[in-house]
Amino acid sequence: MVEIYSQPCTQEKLEILSTDAQYDLACACGSSDYQSRKRGNDGKWIYPVTLPNGGKSILFKTLISNVCKNDCKYCPLREQMDIRRCTLNPEETAQVFLDYYNQRKVFGLFLSSGVFGSADITMERLNSIAKILRKKYQFKGYIHLKVIPGSSNAAVEEAVSLASAVSLNIETPGEKNLAKLSTKKNYIKDIIEPIKLISNLTQKGSRYERVKQTTQFIVGAAGEQDREIVKYMFGLYDRLNMHRVYFSAYQRELGEESISGEKNKTVNPADILIREHRLYQVDFLLRKYGFKESDIMFEVNGNLPLTTDPKEMWAKTHPEIFPVDINRASKFSLLRVPGLGPITVNRIIQSRQNAPIRSIEQVGKVGVRLEKAEKYLIF
């Protein structure tokens, strides 16, 4: 049986492209429960994407094309895949976004794309949409542009000049790992050098310091260790002033089974999702708790423990630090206590200025987290 597809209209193209945009997470997509990424009953993620058929998200998020010349083995849009391809033109993209924005369905725009023609041709299309919005329609709001690996310095700088945030996905820790995923990308030239350029363009005191830079790792696709990811993550924050690092668990059913020579190896689908979660926990420790790369503990296989969160693992391996005196400990020390987060720690510091804290009940409603914290505290 032969299927004949007619040329899709704008609405149909948006249905296809906004759905395909779910594989890129390098943006802050939500601040409330309905906007955040969730795991469905089947174990798969429900992504925060704004669809023309009514799906909710805080950002209007779409590809401008799912045509792609790259061969990334983890990606369901790679060149070798037999999928329905389509491309939006700049004016119709801008118009559709403004329709959503003016209806107050979204607060901003996230634009990404497959690579059609060349990296610079693709970037020219992405940048032209931002230019239409900024100059023709005087849009002053949020625009996040995905920088295409291999783009010229001029194209990257133009994207930074137009955007509120930019992202270029680092994908893997190191070129050896990227080589397992793609034969067409040069890790240093196409990815690391543009990331450094964006960092220089957006550093404090620069013309574009207001622009935020993010990136994303594909977790588990190349057989890399969590230790490698954490090393690169710390470097991105410490040396390149990265605003956020995101992680996307490799969905084996969407990519090639034998990327890292593990075709016959049984992998529990839940484990890769837990790995992703543990990496997000480490990310929070680095950004919010003052942890360093050397503070993160790994198992003998180089990965984070699946059964214990990274903060509690650090506490268990540093018994000399605990228990911590809740009425005298510094903010830094309290942030090392499992179960205590920045908000709770600030509340403790404020509360103890008025009167000593004599029990965990004075800290807040006792649940799993405060029960855990109590074991590491003295009153």
pTM of the model: 0.83
Task: Give residue limits of the domains in the chain.
Answer: 10-311, 318-378
Residue 324 has pLDDT above 80, yes or no: yes
Q: Which of 26-35, 230-239, 293-302 has the lowest mean pLDDT?
A: 26-35
Mean pLDDT value across residues 316-339: 94
* Average pLDDT of the chain to the nearest whole number: 83
Q: How many CB atoms lie within 10 A of CB 150?
A: 21
Confidence at 100, pLDDT banded by 50, 70, 90:
confident
Query: What is the C-alpha separation between 316 and 116, in angstroms, rounded?
Result: 51
Query: What is the C-alpha separation between 325 and 308, in angstroms, rounded?
Result: 24
The predicted-structure confidence for 29-81, as pLDDT tens digits, reads as follows 443 444 444 444 444 333 344 333 444 457 788 888 777 787 777 777 676 66
Strand 38-39 with 45-46, pairing: antiparallel
Residue 231 has pLDDT above 50, yes or no: yes
* Per-residue pLDDT at 18: 60
> What's the Rg (C-alpha) of the chain?
23
- Phi-psi region at 333: left, alpha or beta (left = phi > 0; alpha = psi -120 to 50): alpha
**Which residue has better confidence, 38 or 99?**
99
Q: 368: Cβ–Cβ under 8 A, 6 or more apart, which residues?
A: 339
Question: Residue 325's beta-bridge partner residues?
Answer: 378
* Per-residue pLDDT at 89: 84
Question: Position of tokens 């310091």?
Answer: 209
Confidence at 269, pLDDT banded by 50, 70, 90:
confident
For a pLDDT cut of 70, what percent of the chain falls above it? 78
Q: Which fold has domain 10-311?
A: TIM Barrel (3.20.20)
* Per-residue pLDDT at 46: 35
Q: Which of 211-220, 245-254, 286-295 has the lowest mean pLDDT?
A: 245-254
Q: 31: Cβ–Cβ under 8 A, 6 or more apart, which residues?
A: 58
The predicted-structure confidence for 187-228, as pLDDT tens digits, reads as follows 999 999 999 999 999 999 999 999 999 999 999 989 999 999
* Per-residue pLDDT at 47: 37
Query: What is the C-alpha separation between 278 and 308, in angstroms, rounded?
Result: 9
Q: Are 187 and 174 in contact (CB under 8 A)?
A: yes
Question: How far out from the chain centre does Cα 318 lie?
Answer: 31
* Per-residue pLDDT at 84: 67
Confidence at 83, pLDDT banded by 50, 70, 90:
low
* Per-residue pLDDT at 81: 65
Residue 264 has pLDDT above 80, yes or no: no
For a pLDDT cut of 90, what percent of the chain falls above it? 59
Q: Which fold has domain 318-378?
A: DNA polymerase; domain 1 (1.10.150)
Asked if domains 10-311 and 318-378 share a fold, the reply is no
Straight-line distance from the first to the last Cα atom of the chain, in angstroms, rounded to the nearest whole number: 75
